[in-house]
Amino acid sequence: MACLFPPRFSVRLTTKPELVTPKTPTPREKKPLSDIDDQASLRYHMPGLWFYENKESMVGKDPAKVIKEGLAKALVFFYPLAGRLTEGPNKKLIVDCNGEGVLFVTAEANIALHNLGDFIHSPCPYLKKLQYNVPGSHRITGCPLLLIQVTRFSCGGFALGVRFNHTMVDGYGIQLFLKAVCELAQGGSAPSVLPVWGREMLTAAAAEPNTPTTNHAVYGASDMRNNFKRLDIEWWGSILFNFEKLAAKPLFFFFPNILKPILLRSSFVFGPKEIQALKDQAAAQDFGPCTTFELISACLWKCRTIALQPNPNATVRVTFPTDIRRRSFAGLKFDPGYYGNAIIMLSAATTAKLLCERPITYAIELIREAKNKVSADYVKSVLDFLVINGRPRMSVMRNILVSDISRIGLEKIDFGWGDAIYAGSATAAYGATFLERPKSNSSTERSVLVPISLPHLSMLIFKREIKKMTKFN
């Protein structure tokens, strides 16, 4: 039976936060990050949670000890992650590979894992308990690049909280690192995929970047002038709270206490029936086959825009990080061990009126056109643009970022207790969402979980619109 309300749940730290250093000495050097890594939009610590059930064959083994041992071994190979970031000229981030280590915490919960029921998903109401925010550890420079907490439940299951500095790794990168921790914790002598730095490949020309060949309008604040509409939530937010600035702050993204009374956080599951309903709508327009990503992103973009009720003439966007590792570009060839950010932000835009009034295929077509922009020249243009413009952040207002992490394989991180029953971002952020795998069971194999954060009234409208768009016959 599903839990309707969160149970009484407390977590007690069993160790003080400590630094885990590489098990053997590592090179002492300084390594510049790439110009994709150090853009303002990635300068935050990303939280994630993994939940593992008890396993009979692992009785008597302490997951905290197993993970800590594997962590120390993995940091020998991924030694930059044990360093500290510094900032050079033009906000350039450089990692000082000093081997100071990463933060590690152990804790115990007062209940069994199954008592959390349906709260084992994103957004998880227990993020702060399962991922202790060590005071002073949230800065980008001069702080540990990883914070790991192992929380043991009374049943023998456990939760793994991982907070990583996003400038150092992307979703694939953290998966690669944690897989190495697993392999080394279980007796391996080296990771099956050796890490590769290679950040110079995604760095603009050292002497002088060229003029960008494309106008990357997604970077920079949205123009809210002359966009007034009486029920426009974002317009009022920009006037009353400087919402653009607040929503772009990492701590607001993931711990939004400042506007907690205003925002609701929820999640939506797109199962086979809901996805088929979206496919049927596209087929009714003679549009042809669509990917699940295109269907869900278009649906979210349209429903969220209706919910926020912007001025009809306002420009609205959907932005999606695109992994370029598997693409073949002249001069860009990624080693399987590349663990830095290999994501390019692509964006589709239109007016609120056209998006809201036209069928879902209109949004899908815009998303598809944006996806087709990627080329070696486009990547170079992004690098040049970021450097010339001081490494700006993306706009939050009039924009929804959709990041697909459902196919990375985060749930396959196995420390000996099997696959995680849930692995994901663990929270809902205003202006951004993730396509994730739901808590595992037989009925969710082909489903997609989407965490959403919106003002109260907007959330009510959003739920209504989602229900209308995914209604199946």
Summarize pLDDT for 210-247 with one digit per residue, the tens. Answer: 777 777 888 866 666 666 666 777 777 777 666 666 65
Q: What is the mean pLDDT of residues 240-264?
A: 60
Query: Are both 196 and 238 inside the same structural domain?
Result: no
pLDDT at 253 over 50: no
* 198 and 294 both lie in a single domain: no
pTM of this structure: 0.92
Residue 452 pLDDT: 94
pLDDT bucket at 1, cuts 50 / 70 / 90:
very low
Q: What is the mean pLDDT of the chain?
A: 89
**150 and 254 both lie in a single domain:** no
Looking at the structure, tell me whether residues 160 and 280 fall in a common domain: no
pLDDT above 70: residue 473: no
Q: Which of 45-54, 281-290, 324-333 has the lowest mean pLDDT?
A: 324-333
Structure-token pair, residue 375: 């080329």
- Are residues 196 and 299 both part of a single domain? no
Q: Is residue 94 part of a domain?
A: yes
- In this structure, of 94-108, 115-129, 440-454, the range with the lowest mean pLDDT score is 440-454
For residue 197, is pLDDT > 50? Answer: yes
Q: Domain check: are 133 and 242 in the same one? A: no
Q: Distance between CA atoms of 215 and 4, rounded to whole angstroms? A: 48
Residue 6 resides in a domain:
no
Lowest-confidence segment of 75-84, 154-163, 245-254, 348-357 by average pLDDT:
245-254
CB-count burial class (<10 Å; 0-12, 13-18, 19+) for 385: buried
Give the residue among 48, 50, 470, 426 at the shortest CA–CA distance from 292: 470
Backbone φ/ψ region at 370: left (φ over 0), alpha (ψ -120 to 50), beta? alpha
Instruction: Concatenate the DSSP letters of all residues of 280-341 into one string.
Output: HHHHHTT-----HHHHHHHHHHHHHHHHH---TTSEEEEEEEEE-TTS-BTTB---TTB-S-
Q: What is the pLDDT of residues 419-448, one digit of tens each?
A: 999 999 888 888 889 999 998 764 556 899
Domain identity same for 241 and 385: yes
Residue 309: which domain range?
A: 233-469
User: CATH number of the domain that 253 lies in?
Assistant: 3.30.559.10
Looking at the structure, do residues 165 and 293 belong to the same domain, yes or no?
Answer: no
Domain count, the chain: 2
pLDDT band at 392 (very low <50, low <70, confident <90, very high): confident
Same domain, 383 and 444: yes
CA atoms within 13 A on the CB side of 46: 19
Task: For residues 298-317, give the mean pLDDT.
Answer: 95
User: Which percentage of the chain shows pLDDT scores above 70?
Assistant: 88
Q: If you average pLDDT over residues 376-395, what whole number do you get?
A: 89
Confidence category of residue 207, pLDDT binned at 50, 70, 90: very low
Shared domain for 198 and 237, answered yes or no, is no
Indicate whether 439 belongs to any domain. yes
| Region label for 142, one of left (φ > 0), alpha (ψ between -120 and 50) or beta (otherwise) | left
Q: Does 217 reside within a domain?
A: no
Same domain, 265 and 368: yes
pLDDT at 390 over 80: yes
- For residue 296, pLDDT over 90 is answered with yes
Q: Please determine, for residue 202, whether its predicted confidence score (pLDDT) is greater than 80.
A: yes
For residue 279, pLDDT over 50 is answered with: yes
178 found inside a domain: yes
Q: Is pLDDT of 195 > 60?
A: yes
Residue 133 lies in a domain: yes
214: in domain: no
Residue 212 maps to a domain: no
Question: Cβ contacts of residue 5 below 8 Å, gap of 6+?
Answer: none
298, 367: one domain = yes
**Which residues are known to be catalytic?**
166, 414
